[in-house]
Structure 1
Amino acid sequence: MFIDPDDGQPYLPTPAFFLGGVDIYDREETLGEALEKLDPNDPANREEIILKYCLPTRKSYRHKFLIYKSLEKALQDEKYDFQSLLAYDPEAYSSFPCGWDEMENTRVFFEDIFRLATVEWKEDLQKASLEDQATW
């Protein structure tokens, strides 16, 4: 099991990781306004959102590999509820742009994340796949 060097805890990512870059909580006037101009239901806008906000990360190649694999596993589950990841929670310190909780097809959004991560993270994924993950 991979132990996150930042906090010493087991690293168990979920597909929700990819939403961190579009969380506008306390950034409504900056990030929120930028994202309001983009429609996640439009394929071209969706790709821009993913490339600009969902995929950039300072995480290591091992982190990226585990994040990618968590998304791959979720996409293989036909019943995985991607919509729930965008649901408004008044108790949480996070929020998404107006209307995102009503995205037409959240599965397609995450399928596009997976497709683009396969390309954008190719070298990191390759590097991690060549290692024995049991030794992490």
Structure 2
Amino acid sequence: MPRGQEVQVLHHPLLNQPYQPNLRAWIGGFIGYDMPPALDAELSRYDPNAPNDREHLIRHYCLERFHVRENFRHRQQLVELLQAALDDPDFDFQEVWEPAEDDYDQWPAGWPAQIDDSRDFFQRLLLAARQLWHDDLIRARLPSLAQCRAIPERDRGSRDWLFSVDNSEAWKAIFDVVATPYDLHTPGPQFQGEQLSLQLAGPLPGQSLPSTWPASQALTHCCLELKIQGISELQLSGTRFDGHMRTQLTRLQPGYYLRLEIGFDCVIECVAQFVSIGNVQGSRKEEQQR
């Protein structure tokens, strides 16, 4: 995932050139020069003109066998390309299966000579893609960092960000909704693919603690894990990523915009599909001082 810069051009996942797919990219798993015998035998077990086989081929070959380097933006572009073709009542989908005159591609030996009702095949393909790639397609529609930065300050999140995340029940099970921490410490972020997590710890604001808590047993500190998943855009700056963290979380429709200020000069900004908390624990001041 790019850091420190905004993506301007979507590149091919394998080649150093802009990504410009055509409809044959959808059926590339069925057509190829010198197809391996094992793949030929595997695909030849299915009849693309039989409705049940057609669904299986779409879901397990068209949609599950795209290259691992293709991301949600590649998928969005493929879906938009297919949708545009289906919106054209005169588009000839049979031509998608036919190789160019100088092309030696072939499809499985056991398949029929012609694909019946090719438009139906691609209509089913679009429906299945929207179902199986649902999260990716939503993420591709999240606003950019530039758009989020333009949100007026009055419309951004407050210090009570903890209760704007997806599963604040994990917090409420141990604490009370009014005890909202906002000045937490982190040893630094951990990146795992398209996920960012931070371990956070700090005191609860004393003035907000519930009056029902006995003074001798009142929990005064907390620790938790903040998880940010389905990141669509991320930018980092600074040199020290540990220290006190100040958080601004803005709920989008859908998704979230987060601005994390850590330590002296570190800033993490991202747009993400999900934000959640877990591993919530509470402790008393005496325990913290041991």
Interval of TM-score (by shorter of Structure 1 and Structure 2): 0.7 to 0.9
- Unmatched runs of 5 consecutive residues or more in structure 1: none
Q: Please identify the structure whose Cα radius of gyration is greater.
A: 2
Aligned-pair identity in percent equals: 30
Structure 1 residues 63 and 131, CA, compared in 2 at 3 Å: closer, same or farther?
Answer: farther
* AA at the equivalent of 1:71: L
Q: How many residues align?
A: 134
- Unmatched runs of 5 consecutive residues or more in structure 2: 1-7, 148-232, 234-290
TM-score, normalising length: structure 1 = 0.85
CA distance in 1, matches of 2:87, 2:51: 22
CA contact (8 A) 1:24 1:97 kept: no
Q: Structure 1 residues 91-100 or 27-36, which shifts more?
A: 91-100
State the 1:24 CA deviation.
Answer: 4.3
Structure 1 residues 131 and 17, CA, compared in 2 at 3 Å: closer, same or farther?
Answer: farther
Q: Flag the structure with higher strand content.
A: 2
Match of 1:72 in 2: 83
Give me the CA root mean square deviation.
Answer: 2.3
CA contact (8 A) 1:86 1:100 kept: no
TM-score, normalising length: structure 2 = 0.42
Deviations 1:96-125 (A, max 9, x none): 124455111111110111010011110101
Match of 2:188 in 1: none
CA contact (8 A) 1:23 1:95 kept: yes
Q: Structure 1 residues 92-101 or 115-124, which shifts more?
A: 92-101
CA contact (8 A) 1:87 1:101 kept: no
Match of 1:112 in 2: 124
CA contact (8 A) 1:22 1:31 kept: no
Higher-RCO chain (CA-CA 8 Å, sequence separation at least 6): 1
State the 1:7 CA deviation.
Answer: 2.9
* AA at the equivalent of 1:49: L
CA distance in 1, matches of 2:90, 2:17: 29
Q: Flag the structure with higher helix content.
A: 1
